[in-house]
Amino acid sequence: MIKIAPLGLALASAVVSGIVNAENPRVVFETTAGDIHIELYAEQAPVSVENFLSYIDAGFYDGTIFHRIIPGFVIQGGGFDQEMARKDTRDPIVNEADNGVKNTRATLSMARTQVRDSATSQFFVNLADNAFLDHGERDFGYAVFAEVTEGMEVVDQIAAGETTQRNGMADVPVEPIVVRNAYRAEAP
């Protein structure tokens, strides 16, 4: 019974914090490697979630690839097609990295440049706990806005693929991992 209590406390804490929420929007990425199910943190990162959903609803991610893979760190997508052509995006959004949600394994964060408020369509999935990406002393951090709820084995499979350099970019998968379809899903 003692071993179960911490889990119960953790679940209760997650429910109270609002992260586990049946009302949170959900998204599915159907990729050439398999399906990835994602729950979005609408309360903690409203700007990032609204931005991400606007790209989903427009079909923007369909045909994009995961263009950056660094095992033990992240897989990144949402900005390039199979020819490594950068897709046109909307204006950048405000960085919500100060929302208190940490860059832990299976969470998604908005990718950005060195400019704090430069995120547009690109995102990454954390393959490990990456505390140095959290809001803090190093810099403003990277805004966590979602988590993988099903299909982390697909993410790990993508991360295990061979990479190369292509069009001046490193860590590009040799075998493209294409998003066939990205869409809103019903809560389970």
Ordered by where they begin, the domains of the chain are 24-185 (2.40.100.10)
pTM: 0.88
CA distance 37 to 145: 14
Residue type present at position 65: I
CA distance 65 to 166: 13
Tens of each residue's pLDDT in the chain, 188 residues: 333 343 343 344 344 444 657 799 999 999 999 999 999 999 999 999 999 999 999 999 999 999 999 999 999 999 999 999 999 999 999 999 999 999 999 999 999 999 999 999 999 999 999 999 999 978 999 999 999 999 999 999 999 999 999 999 999 999 999 999 999 998 77
